[in-house]
Structure 1
């Protein structure tokens, strides 16, 4: 595991169960509770997009993320 991947895993692990915001492909922003993640995807629950649309869950490929922040 690379040092970069280790830092991402360590950070996301500490954020599990907390509300985060993320940007996907420079086009869409979402907030939700970080449910789980692996090397390829992040799973959010109780998701809201920038327009206020709500969803129960969202799966995002990590390679499509521009940024993620803890709210």
Structure 2
């Protein structure tokens, strides 16, 4: 029996938890916020803002809708 290797994305997001990130959704919409939590289906950001100035408390995004995530803090 072989030991399962953890996914790189999971390990990276664990290190980025509670830090400020930028998320690209669908390659068109950019949001900044604090990465609060994630699982195999969704990512949760807190204290969210988009690049047009709209702000919100939390954003729940499906993982398969995310184009990329960048650590900015």
Same fold per TM (> 0.5)? yes
Q: What whole-Å deviation, never above 9, does each CA across 1:16-69 have from its counterpart, x for those lacking one?
A: 000000100112100000000000100000000010110000001110001100
Name stretches of at least 5 consecutive residues in structure 2 with no aligned partner.
none
SS of match in other structure, 2:52: coil
TM (normalized to structure 1)? 0.92
- Number of residue pairs the alignment of both structures matches: 69
Which contiguous aligned blocks of 4+ residues in structure 1 show a shift greater than 4 angstroms? none
TM (normalized to structure 2)? 0.89
Give the helix-richer structure, 1 or 2. 1
Query: Which is greater in Rg?
Result: 2
Name stretches of at least 5 consecutive residues in structure 1 with no aligned partner.
none
Whether 1:57 and 2:58 are equivalent positions in the alignment is yes
